[in-house]
Amino acid sequence: MSLEFYTNRIETLAEKKTVQKKKISLITSARIASFILFVIIIVVAIQSKNSDYFYFLILPIILFGILLKFHQREKLKLNILSTKIKINQQEINCLNGNYSEFENGKEFINSQHGFSHDIDLFGEKSLFQFLNRTTSSSSKKRFANYLSNYNSKQEEITNRQEAVKEASTKNAWREEFRANGLLFKTKESNINEVANWRASEIALFENIGLWRVILWAVPIFMLVVIVGVSYSLIPAFYLLIASFIPLGITARKLKIINEQHLKISEYLEVLKQHSILSNLIENEKFKSEQLQLIKSALVDNNKSANTEIKELANITQQLDNRSNPVFAILMNALFLWDLQYLLKLKNWLAKNENSLQNWFEAVDEMEVYASLGNFAFNQSEFNYPELSQTHFFEAEELGHPLLSENSRITSSLTINNLQEFVIITGANMAGKSTFLRAVGINLVLASSGAPVCAKSFSYTPTQLFTSMRTSDSLSDNESYFYSELKRLQTIVEKLKSGEKLFVILDEILKGTNSKDKAEGSKKFVKQLLNYQASGIIATHDLSLCSIKEDFPTQVQTHYFDVEIENDELVFDYKLKEGICSNMNAEFLMKKMGITE
């Protein structure tokens, strides 16, 4: 369904783009015609030696200016259409298994995190890359924090689900929101600086009353001089002398003006982006509590973020006009232009500096829900999890969401209560690690309020902690085995402090000998059973399953099987009850010629 939607959308947008190109072509022709008219009037005036014809030049000049504005507006619409086509094509590629065009969040990879590194939350072909539709560095960072800060509060998860469900229905709005966000790409440093911009940075206008008098009196004085010169009441050179007064005032404050102008030039794109995005949020109707809260954050004490940021963008644009030296000299000589707008900037910051951070965060938060809503729309066959009080974890036909539907094989699993563990055995490459990551990733999706890859999924929200991909550290002079011990120690410390954990472990004590590993693993699992913990442990060590004899109600045993048919390994990748009896290491070594 979603594939068909995106295909149809591209066709519609392509037709609109063709019409838009024709419109721009007509405007360009009209601009050329207005220029030709301008030239004709000049030629006629010269040939007829009648200077009155020059008055008619105002017509093509005004016309050219209007057409230039139209051209810029229509060109922006064309760029938006092109971006929308690209967005829809990216979604088609994603549905076909290629989501490499989206940022993967590799900068958020953290091997010390409670679960993100083990389940491939960040990096190439990660869950983050699959979900991420944010358009700025700050919203990308917020989304990364949203996914990695596992939420176990039931009310918040319910609110998130409602927000994601609503966002998934707003296809046209999400497309518009993302297209405008992508069109005004901004740097993270600029976003942070704008959000923390303060009026106190403008070290000027301490005596505000005096400055107000100066900024009114000087332009009036200059206008009086201009009128006097125009009517030959005073000599023309007086105007030149008079202009040194405002230029001198401006020159004395030039250092502060230049500092703020440098900032403003860098901030303009940020302000344009947030003005447009906040406007899209403010003008959209939302029903879910979470999305309404985001919208309300953009209206503070009857102040609209869009209106205020648009005003700031206008002040910024006017100050940026000083980049033209002719404009700067003329307007400062007449109106103290730089100081007029610097005062406006300081007043604006004094009024809004405490709201800026909230406005930026609200837009970033909306980008998070737009990303999750997009995922929910794309994966319409996925289901929203239920928050259960009867089953600690129950999933029917659970699969890995990043695998295509054609290659995805699902399994079911139930963990009834806390203090209950599932031990999974199986041959190499039989599917143990993929299943563990599928469980972990679906739990992260569930805590985010997103749908999960399962026919049905109910769970009691509990903090997630994993130990699957431990590595040694040369920089810390730390062995592989010691690194793993530290990971296990963290689990125990969390449990001793009273935390409840859903634990996923792949091979306990991988870095030691078989006997030591077997004894240590058993003791560790028995230790876990004394605390408020549940989870899944995958192992090649069949002896670990003997714990079930001592704890028959607290330990389940499951396995992934392998068969050898016609001298080939055959995997079905289905989770079954019991203990694995077939292993394949010896067979594979022979097959690959490693052993005879």
Position 592 pLDDT exceeds 60: no
Confidence of residue 565 (pLDDT cuts 50, 70, 90): low
Q: Are 197 and 351 in contact (CB under 8 A)?
A: no
pLDDT (tens digit, 9 = 90+) per residue, 212-222? 899 999 999 99
Q: Put the strands of the sheet holding 411-415 in their side by side order.
A: 386-387, 456-459, 393-398, 411-415
Return the pLDDT at 91.
Answer: 97
d(CA 259, CA 201): 10
d(CA 64, CA 70): 10
User: Lowest-confidence range among 100-114, 289-303, 434-448?
Assistant: 289-303
Q: Are 559 and 580 in contact (CB under 8 A)?
A: yes
Q: What are phi and psi of 507, to 5 degrees?
A: 65, 95
Position 492 pLDDT exceeds 50: yes
Q: Percent of the chain scored above 90 by pLDDT?
A: 55
Two structure tokens written together for 306: 């869009």
Q: Are 511 and 481 in contact (CB under 8 A)?
A: yes
Q: C-alpha angle 517/523/528, rounded to 5°?
A: 120
Confidence of residue 585 (pLDDT cuts 50, 70, 90): low
Two structure tokens written together for 322: 């000083």
Confidence of residue 478 (pLDDT cuts 50, 70, 90): low
- Whether the CA torsion 433, 438, 441, 446 is positive or negative: it is negative
Two structure tokens written together for 232: 């030959």
d(CA 406, CA 398): 14
Element housing 148 (H / E): helix 137-148
Higher pLDDT, 449 or 487: 449
d(CA 262, CA 12): 42
Q: C-alpha angle 120/421/545, rounded to 5°?
A: 105
Burial class from Cβ neighbours inside 10 Å (0-12, 13-18, 19+) for residue 499 reads middle
Closest CA to 91 of 185, 184, 13: 13
Q: Please list, residue by residue across 225-264, b when 16 or more beta carbons sit within 10 angstroms of its beta carbon and e when fewer do.
A: beebbeeeeeeeeebeebbeebeebbeebeebbeebbebb
In the predicted model, what is the mean pLDDT of residues 352-369? 91
Return the pLDDT at 569.
Answer: 64
Q: C-alpha angle 581/575/432, rounded to 5°?
A: 80
Q: Are 90 and 101 in contact (CB under 8 A)?
A: yes
d(CA 526, CA 578): 20
Confidence of residue 302 (pLDDT cuts 50, 70, 90): confident
CA 320 to each of CA 2, 76, 276, 574: distance values in angstroms, whole numbers, following the listed order: 44, 21, 20, 64
Return the pLDDT at 15.
Answer: 97
pLDDT (tens digit, 9 = 90+) per residue, 224-245? 988 888 888 888 888 888 889 9
Return the pLDDT at 263.
Answer: 78
Confidence of residue 476 (pLDDT cuts 50, 70, 90): very low
Higher pLDDT, 480 or 558: 558
pLDDT (tens digit, 9 = 90+) per residue, 98-148? 999 999 999 999 988 999 999 999 999 999 999 999 998 889 999 999 999
Confidence of residue 567 (pLDDT cuts 50, 70, 90): low
* Torsion on CA atoms 106, 110, 116, 121, rounded to nearest 10: 0
CA 70 to each of CA 76, 268, 593: distance values in angstroms, whole numbers, following the listed order: 10, 21, 72
Cβ contacts of 296 within 8 Å, gap of 6 or more? none
d(CA 463, CA 532): 11
In the predicted model, what is the mean pLDDT of residues 85-93? 97
**Mind giving me the DSSP string for 329-370?**
HHHHHHH-HHHHHHHHHHHHHHHHHHHHHHHHHHHHHHHHHH
Element housing 534 (H / E): strand 533-539
Return the pLDDT at 267.
Answer: 78
Position 322 pLDDT exceeds 90: no
What is the rounded end-to-end Cα distance, in angstroms, of the chain? 53
Q: HEC string of 176-201?
A: HHHHHHHHCCCCHHHHHHHHCCCHHH
Q: Are 556 and 484 in contact (CB under 8 A)?
A: no
Count, residues in the chain: 596
Strands 555-565 and 533-539: unpaired
| Mean of pLDDT over the chain | 88
pLDDT (tens digit, 9 = 90+) per residue, 144-170? 999 999 999 999 999 999 999 999 999
Closest CA to 423 of 270, 544, 311: 544
d(CA 524, CA 536): 13
d(CA 145, CA 421): 29
Strands 463-467 and 501-506: parallel
Q: Are 174 and 277 in contact (CB under 8 A)?
A: no
d(CA 161, CA 167): 10
Two structure tokens written together for 2: 């979603």
Selection from 245-254, 279-288, 341-350, 473-482 with the highest mean pLDDT: 279-288
- Which residues are registered as beta bridge partners of 423? 537, 557
Q: Are 401 and 442 in contact (CB under 8 A)?
A: yes
In the predicted model, what is the mean pLDDT of residues 489-495? 93
CA 565 to each of CA 289, 403, 561, 562, 583: distance values in angstroms, whole numbers, following the listed order: 56, 26, 13, 10, 14
pLDDT (tens digit, 9 = 90+) per residue, 48-85? 878 777 778 888 888 988 998 899 899 999 999 999 99
* Residue corresponding to tokens 């980008």: 367
Confidence of residue 512 (pLDDT cuts 50, 70, 90): low
Position 496 pLDDT exceeds 90: yes
Return the pLDDT at 449.
Answer: 97
